[in-house]
């Protein structure tokens, strides 16, 4: 028997969010993971407005996997020159390298402007145009859908950029992460939005709190670790967070099933709590037979690590 099929319909965004600042921006803040999933990024929101001259960015986030700042400009009306100007102002006046413009309707000239910026800016500046749609089936609740209408063409940027050849080791890092990321996402879906493998010795996933990241990392002394890295930008805050977590050391290690390395790093601003791969030494340039067990361990250890720390991270308080 054929199941009854409903009718899909679009819902006017203004029927759901009547005011951009009071309704839409707070909703986007609470659902930033949905946007991150579309962009292929793990986004960590920065609290409070970030001002550039007389303007204040709607939202500022950290792409923890790419270690870069993201400015988000959103509106409930069709795109206009004013918001494009604000986006460019943020580009000139902040440290951000990723710029996201969200609207229910992109005018063709504004989509073309973002395409032009992506083609002519340097390879570290990324511009995204995102249309938000609301859809419903019959009389169901409306559901949001993000659609990319403009985005960086990475191949074209690479072709235009004049850069030094990628070193053998950086290429090896990229290959390793390209194996690890899909393995982790296949085994533990929904844990991360990361899609592009970096060429660095580390890869960070969001930990659910700004300034904290759960990382995979190769070390300079030929070891590999899974870690919780604490760096909010403020040394005393980092130490306070570390001390709160250390107060639950026995509970966390019991959940994880083994002891951890708790490093307050007194001489530095940041703190680190880590778990080391038992087989040492290990390097990203080792052969596939050596790295395959490492990938398997990294997948399982990261999942256990995040699960063990999650409840205590959620209850951290600023002292």
Each residue's pLDDT tens digit, 17-52 = 999 989 999 999 989 989 998 998 888 887 656 666
Instruction: Determine the structural domain holding residue 278 and report its residue range.
Output: 168-314
Kind and range of the H or E element at 40?
A: none
**Pick from 118, 138, 160: which residue ends a domain?**
160
Co-location of 132 and 189 in the same domain = no
Angle between helical axes of 168-187 and 288-314 (0-180°, round to 10): 60
Q: What does pTM read for this prediction?
A: 0.71
Co-location of 17 and 155 in the same domain = yes
Co-location of 32 and 126 in the same domain = yes
Co-location of 121 and 21 in the same domain = yes
Does 253 have pLDDT greater than 80? Answer: yes
Residue with tokens 């999933």: 37
What CATH number corresponds to the domain at position 176? Answer: 3.30.1460
Question: What is the tally of structural domains in the chain?
Answer: 2
Write out the two tokens for 18.
């009547």
Can you give the pLDDT at residue 49? 60
Co-location of 289 and 155 in the same domain = no
Residue 2: inside a domain, yes or no? no
Angle between helical axes of 288-314 and 249-256 (0-180°, round to 10): 140
Can you give the pLDDT at residue 157? 47
Does 58 have pLDDT greater than 60? Answer: yes
How far is CA 211 from each of CA 8, 123, 153, 199, 306, rounded to the nearest angstrom?
41, 26, 30, 22, 15
Co-location of 84 and 213 in the same domain = no
Co-location of 13 and 153 in the same domain = yes
Mean pLDDT, the chain, integer:
89
More confident residue, 230 or 96: 230
Co-location of 256 and 304 in the same domain = yes
pLDDT bracket for residue 228 (50, 70, 90): very high
Co-location of 133 and 191 in the same domain = no
DSSP assignment, residue 69?
E
């Amino acid at each position: 028997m054929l199941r009854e099929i409903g009718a899909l319909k679009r819902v006017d965004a203004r029927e759901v969010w009547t005011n951009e600042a009071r309704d839409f921006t707070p909703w986007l803040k609470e659902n930033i993971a949905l946007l991150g999933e579309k962009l292929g990024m793990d986004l960590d929101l920065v609290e409070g407005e970030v001002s550039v001259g007389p303007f204040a960015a709607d939202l500022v986030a950290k792409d923890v996997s790419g270690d870069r700042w993201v400015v988000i400009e959103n509106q409930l009306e069709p795109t206009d020159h004013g918001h494009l100007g604000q986006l460019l102002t943020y580009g000139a006046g902040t440290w951000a390298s990723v710029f996201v413009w969200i609207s229910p309707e992109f005018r063709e000239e504004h989509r073309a402007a973002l395409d032009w910026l992506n083609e002519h800016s340097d390879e570290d500046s990324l511009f995204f145009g995102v249309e938000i749609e609301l859809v419903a089936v019959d009389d169901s609740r409306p559901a949001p859908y993000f659609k990319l209408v403009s985005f960086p063409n990475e191949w074209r940027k690479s072709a235009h950029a004049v850069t030094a050849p990628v070193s053998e080791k950086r290429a090896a890092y990229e290959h390793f992460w390209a194996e690890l990321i899909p393995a982790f996402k296949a085994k533990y879906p929904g844990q991360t939005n990361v899609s592009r493998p970096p060429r660095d010795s580390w890869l960070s996933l969001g930990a659910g709190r700004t300034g904290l990241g759960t990382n995979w990392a190769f070390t300079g002394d030929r070891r590999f670790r899974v870690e919780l890295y604490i760096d909010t930008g403020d040394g005393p805050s980092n130490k306070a967070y570390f001390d709160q977590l250390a107060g639950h050391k026995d509970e966390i290690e019991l959940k994880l099933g083994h002891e951890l390395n708790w490093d307050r790093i007194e001489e530095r601003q940041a703190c680190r709590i880590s778990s080391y791969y038992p087989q040492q030494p290990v390097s990203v340039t080792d052969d596939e037979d050596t790295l395959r067990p490492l990938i398997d361990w990294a997948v399982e250890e990261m999942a256990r690590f995040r699960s063990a720390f999650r409840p205590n991270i959620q209850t951290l308080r600023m002292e």
